[in-house]
Amino acid sequence: MSSSDRPLLIALTGGIGCGKTTVLNEFRKLGIPCFVADEVAGGYYQDPAFLQQIRALFGDSVMMADGDKLQADKKAIAQIVFSDPDALRRLNALIHPRVWDDFLRFVRANAAAPYVIFETAIAYEYGFDRLVDRVVCVYLEEEERLRRLEQRDHATREQLLARMRNQLSAEEKMMRADYVVLNYEGNPRTRQVLHIHRQLMFES
């Protein structure tokens, strides 16, 4: 697809707890088709062919029986990839190309839209930024993200910090993005999204 006969491809990113989902919902309200990479990837774990690929990668120790259905133990997989960057790379190589293919199908199904959003926490870490036309980053400082996540995920500070350290810093993401939404409490988020929306409508 050339850029003239398809919607603009927009990545929406930001560190965990910055408010990506909340901002994405603002774009949804404006009628923009939104694709949530994590949600789509989560669905792969229902696919027997994908489960066999997971088994081939990580062995039987990450598989559980669920009646006569095979299931992957996502916690066991998370533990492995958390401490083994090579295993994480192999898991990513299995999931992300498939996510991107599914996204392109989603774009074709929404070919009349001015732009389409691909929401992912790891736009830069995995190089999705180079596949899209523009990146929108939601920014919130770490302390406030920790506070929100402690409430949302009931995780400890240490667990949350470990997850954050696995990603590029929020500041770096913000510096590299084409558009930034500052998601401080009380900041007019709707207005910022509307402003970006108007610019993207103009560019498309």
Nearest-approach distance from CB 23 to ligand ADP, in angstroms:
7
Name the minimum Å distance from CB 67 to ligand ADP.
33
What's the rounded Cα separation, in Å, for the pair 31 and 179? Answer: 19
Residue type, 201: M
Of 199, 145, 151, 184, which is closest to residue 27 (Cα–Cα)? 199
Tell me how far apart the alpha carbons of residues 116 and 127 are, in angstroms, rounded to a whole number: 18
12 binds ligand ADP (CB under 6 A): no
Instruction: Look at residues 137, 178, 99 and name the one whose alpha carbon lies nearest to residue 20.
Output: 137
Sole binder of ligand ADP in the list 189, 193, 196, 197 (CB under 6 A): 189
Spell out, one character per residue from 127 to 156, where the chain touches ligand ADP: x when CB under 6 A holds, - when not: ---------------------x---x----
**By the 8 A CB rule, do 117 and 32 touch?**
yes
Q: Residue holding tokens 């409430």?
A: 151
CB-wise, 79 or 187, nearer to ligand ADP? 187
Residues 19-48 that bind ligand ADP (CB under 6 A): 19-22
Of 6 and 148, which has the nearer Cβ to ligand ADP?
Answer: 148
In the list 91, 122, 123, 183, the residue contacting ligand ADP (rule: CB under 6 A) is 183
Instruction: Using the rule CB under 6 A, give the single segment among 14-22, 44-52, 81-89, 96-104 that binds ligand ADP.
Output: 14-22
CB of 158 to ligand ADP, least distance (A): 18
Work out whether 173 is an interface residue with ligand ADP (CB under 6 A): no
List 119's β-bridge partners, or say none: 12, 36
Query: Pairing between strand 69-72 and 63-66?
Result: antiparallel
What is the 8-class DSSP label of residue 45? G
Instruction: Please tell me whether residue 16 binds ligand ADP under the rule CB under 6 A.
Output: yes
Q: Based on CB atoms, which residue is closest to ligand ADP, 134 or 183?
A: 183
Pairing mode, strands 8-13 and 34-36: unpaired
Give exposure, 123-146, as e/b (b: 16+ Cβ within 10 Å): bbebebbeebbbbbbbbbebeebb
Stretch that binds ligand ADP, among 18-26, 48-56, 98-106, 160-168 (CB under 6 A): 18-26
Q: Which residues bind ligand ADP (CB under 6 A)?
A: 14, 16-22, 148, 152, 183, 185, 189
